[in-house]
């Protein structure tokens, strides 16, 4: 395979999906690069790439993503374009990324993390605890479905996907009594006011890397690496790599109800993680702390702890 290397004054091509959230994240990345390097917008080109996942989402709007199969569904075309040299960097929601990248690509640049919490969205009720017995919850997230089933087995779950507008329309139409979205996505779209309430991590532990933009690039592209170094946020990187190490021990894909959140206090990182049965019938948790320099090892260790205490049939539904 021949890789086209851009001359150093060619615009840096930023690959992204075309959803409003993906575009907002690509623009945030470009704005940060412009500011960090005192460059104009002409030094960058935002290239929108349609992915299989985007196409399938339109066709199969009501089918669970798990059924469609989601491993790399939203990243394959973008990564192929990057390996061909059609784009130089790719901007992602890290929480949607597998823990292992294709040969030749690295995901190691992270922007300052947004709000990590989930948002509760309802036109009728103010919080989960206000939901009446048997209320209908619209969410396709395996993690949120499992967590809700665990704390409120009475709730009825229905598949719910699409962008923020689509979901709000569904709520207006009475398809469900409430839905959930990441606060970070709402905030990046300038729609924080659509959240009825932010849910604290104690009540609903967020997805691994929720709220963190990750930037992927070719491992041998020095120009991209140098440019990205100026916008990299080491604290976010430590947290995200800690949580992703935990995820990698348990499941590299996003087809298992797993949640984890780390926080840094001084020179220490603390991690909480959990894995659930999809129906919420069981939950295994782990918690620990380590020096920030040992962030990855902490994630791996807690993942191993959970594997060690999981009953032999815990993963049999996979």
Ligand X SMILES: NCc1[nH]cc(CCC(=O)O)c1CC(=O)O
Catalytic residues: 96
Which residues of the chain form contacts with ligand X (CB under 6 A)? 93, 95-96, 181-182, 184-185, 210-211
Extract the runs of DSSP E, i.e. beta strands, from the chain. 12-16, 44-48, 89-93, 105-110, 118-121, 136-138, 156-158, 178-182, 197-199, 213-218, 258-265, 268-276, 283-291
DSSP 41: G
Largest interatomic CA distance in the chain = 62
Pair 32, 66: CB distance under 8 Å: no
**Integer angstrom CA distances of residue 23 from 17, 18, 48, 66, 92:** 7, 6, 8, 25, 10
Instruction: Choose between 182 and 237: whose C-beta lies nearer to ligand X.
Output: 182
**What is the smallest separation between the CB atom of 138 and ligand X, expressed in angstroms?**
12
- Hey, which residues does 36 pair with through a beta bridge? none
Instruction: Choose between 181 and 290: whose C-beta lies nearer to ligand X.
Output: 181
- Report CA torsion sign: 109, 209, 305, 141: negative
**What is the smallest separation between the CB atom of 58 and ligand X, expressed in angstroms?**
15
Instruction: Choose between 209 and 290: whose C-beta lies nearer to ligand X.
Output: 209
**What is the smallest separation between the CB atom of 57 and ligand X, expressed in angstroms?**
10
Give every CB contact of residue 1 below 8 A, 6+ residues apart in sequence.
Answer: 83, 84
Instruction: Choose between 122 and 218: whose C-beta lies nearer to ligand X.
Output: 122
**What is the smallest separation between the CB atom of 305 and ligand X, expressed in angstroms?**
26
Instruction: Choose between 185 and 280: whose C-beta lies nearer to ligand X.
Output: 185
Question: Residue 318 class from Cβ within 10 Å (0-12 exposed, 13-18 middle, 19+ buried)?
Answer: exposed
**What is the smallest separation between the CB atom of 24 and ligand X, expressed in angstroms?**
10
């Amino acid at each position: 395979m021949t890789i086209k290397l851009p001359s150093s004054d060619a615009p840096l091509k930023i690959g992204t999906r075309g959803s409003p959230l993906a575009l907002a994240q690509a623009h945030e990345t470009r704005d940060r690069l412009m500011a960090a390097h005192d460059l104009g917008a002409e030094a960058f080109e935002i290239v929108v790439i349609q992915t299989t996942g985007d196409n399938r989402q339109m066709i199969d709007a009501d089918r669970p993503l798990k059924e469609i199969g989601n491993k790399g569904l939203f990243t394959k075309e973008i990564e192929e374009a990057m390996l061909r040299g059609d784009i130089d960097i790719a901007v992602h929601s890290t929480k949607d990324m597998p823990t292992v990248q294709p040969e030749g690509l690295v995901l190691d640049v992270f922007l300052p993390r947004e709000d990590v919490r989930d948002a509760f969205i309802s036109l009728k009720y103010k919080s989960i605890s206000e939901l009446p017995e048997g209320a209908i919850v619209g969410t396709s997230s395996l993690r949120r479905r499992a967590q809700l089933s665990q704390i409120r087995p009475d709730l009825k779950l229905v598949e719910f996907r699409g962008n923020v507008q689509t979901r709000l329309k569904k709520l207006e139409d009475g398809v469900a009594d409430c839905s959930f979205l990441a606060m970070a996505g709402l905030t990046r779209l300038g729609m924080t006011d659509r959240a009825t309430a932010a849910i604290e991590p104690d009540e609903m532990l967020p997805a691994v890397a929720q709220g963190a933009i990750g930037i992927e690039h070719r491992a041998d592209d020095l120009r991209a690496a140098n440019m990205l170094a100026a916008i990299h946020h080491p604290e976010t990187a430590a947290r995200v790599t800690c949580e992703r190490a935990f995820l990698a021990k348990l499941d590299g894909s996003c087809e298992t109800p797993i949640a984890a959140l780390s926080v840094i206090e001084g020179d220490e990182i603390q991690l909480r993680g959990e894995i659930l049965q999809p129906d919420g019938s069981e939950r295994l948790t782990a918690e620990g702390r380590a020096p920030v320099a040992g962030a990855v090892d902490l994630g791996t260790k807690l993942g191993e702890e959970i594997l060690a205490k999981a009953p032999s049939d815990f993963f049999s539904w996979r």
